[in-house]
């Protein structure tokens, strides 16, 4: 827009029109008032007018936010910090290992890193690839929290490469409580651990818990533990004038082909040689 100039009685009068700053050419007329704003280019301008003035040369420039820009985000040059060379590594929250805490604190000038823990950062290891078969030959081992049953020995040994896993014994773990029926008697919550004890009734119980359960259900006599381990076999007379058999007094009932339940296979064979076991357990 053109300015108009008039000469009246020796007085020069200039009539000017206002135009937007975006069409004005710098330098711009701005006050020195300090009300800082942050531009989209990361630069702090003293006030909005100064930013608008700079935008005449950079059309992409705009207001990012009121207030000063965060100068730490712009710094890319390496920091010079007065830290010693003592090697006391710490792990930062950014996953990096720093030679000591002073160097990590120095890095805070550029990032918000904090100390995660003392010592170098732990490197994550990939899970090992092991060539194990799918055969189910269970073994019991540890898993860091207790006992765990592994499908086979190879699976357990594979985990030992990266974890503190130990082999305990062959077969599935027996650490879980199971309901075991002691016939006749109540249902007892006992483990399946094999720690046999010999009772005063001549019977061997797999562990003291099963003995205590049988003791509670016994009404004929007061049971007591004679010794640890299985009871010694004693000759047993089957029927008056019948054969004399040397069978251990263990409670391992079997169901015979005659439909009768015998306390063990030995007792069944002692009763009649022609009998066969149809299944383990009572009929």
The two three-digit tokens of residue 15, written as one number: 């009539």
Separation between Cα atoms, residue 116 and residue 259, nearest integer Å: 71
Separation between Cα atoms, residue 40 and residue 62, nearest integer Å: 5
User: What is residue 179's predicted lDDT score, i.e. its pLDDT?
Assistant: 40
Place of tokens 């008697």: 185
Whole-number percent of the chain with pLDDT over 70: 71
Q: How high does pLDDT run on average in the chain?
A: 75
The two three-digit tokens of residue 259, written as one number: 């439909």
Does the structure show a pLDDT above 80 at 55? yes
**Average pLDDT, stretch 103-110?**
78
Q: Describe the strand order of the beta sheet including 90-92 as a list of residue ranges.
A: 97-98, 90-92, 115-118
**Average pLDDT, stretch 134-161?**
84
Least confident of 73-77, 147-151, 227-231, 279-283: 73-77
Does the structure show a pLDDT above 80 at 275? yes
Walk me through the domains of the chain, giving residue ranges and CATH numbers.
Answer: 23-73 (3.30.60.30), 75-118 (3.30.60.30), 125-175 (3.30.60.30), 178-228 (3.30.60), 238-280 (3.30.60.30)
**Average pLDDT, stretch 43-52?**
89
pLDDT tens for residues 148-158? 888 888 888 88
Whole-number percent of the chain with pLDDT over 90: 0
User: What is residue 1's predicted lDDT score, i.e. its pLDDT?
Assistant: 46
Task: For residue 211, name the pLDDT band (cuts at 50, 70, 90).
Answer: confident
Which H or E run contains 64?
strand 63-66
Task: For residue 210, name the pLDDT band (cuts at 50, 70, 90).
Answer: confident
Q: Is-contact 219 243, C-beta < 8 A?
A: no
Separation between Cα atoms, residue 192 and residue 207, nearest integer Å: 8
Strand partners, 181: 187
Does the structure show a pLDDT above 50 at 19? no
Separation between Cα atoms, residue 186 and residue 118, nearest integer Å: 56
**Average pLDDT, stretch 223-232?**
85
Per DSSP, 197 falls in state E
Pick from 57, 23, 52, 26: nearest CA to 39: 52
**Average pLDDT, stretch 165-184?**
64
Least confident of 55-59, 138-142, 214-218, 242-246: 242-246
Helix (H, G, I), strand (E, B) or coil at 244: strand
């Amino acid at each position: 827009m053109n300015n108009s100039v008039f000469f009246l009685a020796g007085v020069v009068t200039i009539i000017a029109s206002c135009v937007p700053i975006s069409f004005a050419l710098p330098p711009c007329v701005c006050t020195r008032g300090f009300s800082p704003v942050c531009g989209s280019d990361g630069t702090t301008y003293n006030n909005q007018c100064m930013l608008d003035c700079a935008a005449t040369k950079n059309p992409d420039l705009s207001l990012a936010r009121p207030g000063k820009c965060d100068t730490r985000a712009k710094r890319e040059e390496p920091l010079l910090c007065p830290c010693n060379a003592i090697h006391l590594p710490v792990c930062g929250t950014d996953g990096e290992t720093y030679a000591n805490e002073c160097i990590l604190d120095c890095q805070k000038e550029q990032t918000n890193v904090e100390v995660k823990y003392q010592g170098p950062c732990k490197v994550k290891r990939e899970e090992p690839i092991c060539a194990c078969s799918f055969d189910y030959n269970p073994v019991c081992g540890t898993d860091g929290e207790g006992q765990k049953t592994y499908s086979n020995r190879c699976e357990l040994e594979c985990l030992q490469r990266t974890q503190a896993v130990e082999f305990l014994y062959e077969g599935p773990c027996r650490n879980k409580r199971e309901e075991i029926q002691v016939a006749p008697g109540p249902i007892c919550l006992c483990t399946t651990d094999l720690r046999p004890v010999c009772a005063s009734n001549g019977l061997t119980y797999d562990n003291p818990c099963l003995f205590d359960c049988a003791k509670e259900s016994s009404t004929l006599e007061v049971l007591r533990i004679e010794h640890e381990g299985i009871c010694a076999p004693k000759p047993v007379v089957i029927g008056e004038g019948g054969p004399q058999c040397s069978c251990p007094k263990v409670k391992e009932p079997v169901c015979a082909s005659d439909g009768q339940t015998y306390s063990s296979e030995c007792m069944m064979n002692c009763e009649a040689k022609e009998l066969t076991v149809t299944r383990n357990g009572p009929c």
